[in-house]
C-alpha cells in the first residue's frame, strides 16, 4: 500500500510529458511538410508549363492541393492525420478542403439537397462568408487609396 501523495507523485512522473509541446511539434512538422508538398506542386506545374503566369501557377497549385485534401479526406486518411497533427492539418488549404468534404460525407445519408449541399458549409461557411465580406470592405477601402 502506498501513501496518497506518493501515488500522486508517481502519476505525475509517469503521465505523458507536456502534451502542449508534443502537439505543437506535431503541428509544426506535419504543417511544414504539407507546405513543402505545396511548393513541390507549384514547382512541378511551373516546370511543365514554363510560359504560365505566376498567378495562374499559384491558382493551379491551390486547386491541386484542394484535390489532395478532398481525396485523402474521402479515403479516411486525413481525419486520422488530424488526430495526430491538430493545427498542422487544419491550417493548410488541404484542411479547408477537409472542412468541406468531411461534413458533406458525414451527412450524405440525409440526401443530396439538404445533406451534402447544405451541410458542406457547416465549418467552411463562416470562412467563406467572412472572407467575402472582408474582401468587399477591403475593395471599398481600396477605392480611396
Q: Binders of other proteins among 65-84, rule CB under 8 A?
A: 65-67, 70-71, 73-76, 79-80
Among 7, 110, 114, 117, interactor with other proteins by CB under 8 A: 117
> Does 52 help bind other proteins (rule: CB under 8 A)?
no
> Does 142 help bind other proteins (rule: CB under 8 A)?
yes
Q: 3-class DSSP state for residue 76?
A: coil
- How far is 96 from 29, CA to CA, in rounded Å? 18
Among 7, 39, 110, 114, interactor with other proteins by CB under 8 A: 39
Q: Identify the burial level of 83 via C-beta atoms within 10 angstroms of its C-beta, where 0-12 means exposed, 13-18 middle and 19 or more buried.
A: exposed
Please check whether residue 52 is in contact with residue 46, taking contact to mean a CB–CB distance below 8 angstroms: yes
User: What burial letters (b/e) apply to 40-77, b meaning 16+ CB within 10 Å?
Assistant: ebbeebbeeeeeeeeeebeebbbebbbebbbebbeeee
Closest CA to 87 of 42, 24, 134, 34: 24
Tell me, residue by residue from 83 to 112, as one string, x for binding to other proteins by CB under 8 A and - for no binding.
--xxxx-xxxxxxxx-xxxx-xxx-xx--x
| Binding-residue total with other proteins (CB under 8 A) | 78
Whether the CA torsion 18, 22, 25, 27 is positive or negative: it is: negative
Tell me, residue by residue from 2 to 31, as one string, x for binding to other proteins by CB under 8 A and - for no binding.
------------------x--xxxxxxxxx
> Does 45 help bind other proteins (rule: CB under 8 A)?
no
**Closer of 3 and 55 to other proteins (Cβ):** 55
Among 6, 11, 47, 138, interactor with other proteins by CB under 8 A: 138
Binding part of the chain for other proteins, among 6-14, 45-53, 121-129 by CB under 8 A, reads: 121-129
Amino acid at each position: 500500500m502506498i501513501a496518497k501523495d506518493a501515488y500522486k507523485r508517481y502519476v505525475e512522473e509517469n503521465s505523458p510529458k507536456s502534451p502542449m509541446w508534443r502537439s505543437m511539434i506535431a503541428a509544426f512538422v506535419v504543417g511544414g511538410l504539407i507546405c513543402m508538398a505545396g511548393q513541390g506542386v507549384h514547382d512541378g506545374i511551373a516546370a511543365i508549363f514554363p510560359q504560365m503566369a505566376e498567378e495562374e501557377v499559384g491558382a493551379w497549385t491551390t486547386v491541386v492541393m484542394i484535390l489532395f485534401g478532398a481525396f485523402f479526406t474521402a479515403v479516411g486518411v486525413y481525419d486520422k492525420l488530424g488526430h495526430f497533427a491538430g493545427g498542422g492539418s487544419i491550417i493548410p488549404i488541404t484542411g479547408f478542403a477537409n472542412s468541406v468534404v468531411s461534413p458533406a460525407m458525414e451527412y450524405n445519408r440525409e440526401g443530396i439537397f439538404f445533406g451534402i449541399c447544405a451541410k458542406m458549409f457547416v465549418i467552411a461557411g463562416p470562412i467563406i462568408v467572412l472572407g467575402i465580406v472582408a474582401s468587399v470592405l477591403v475593395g471599398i477601402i481600396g477605392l480611396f487609396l
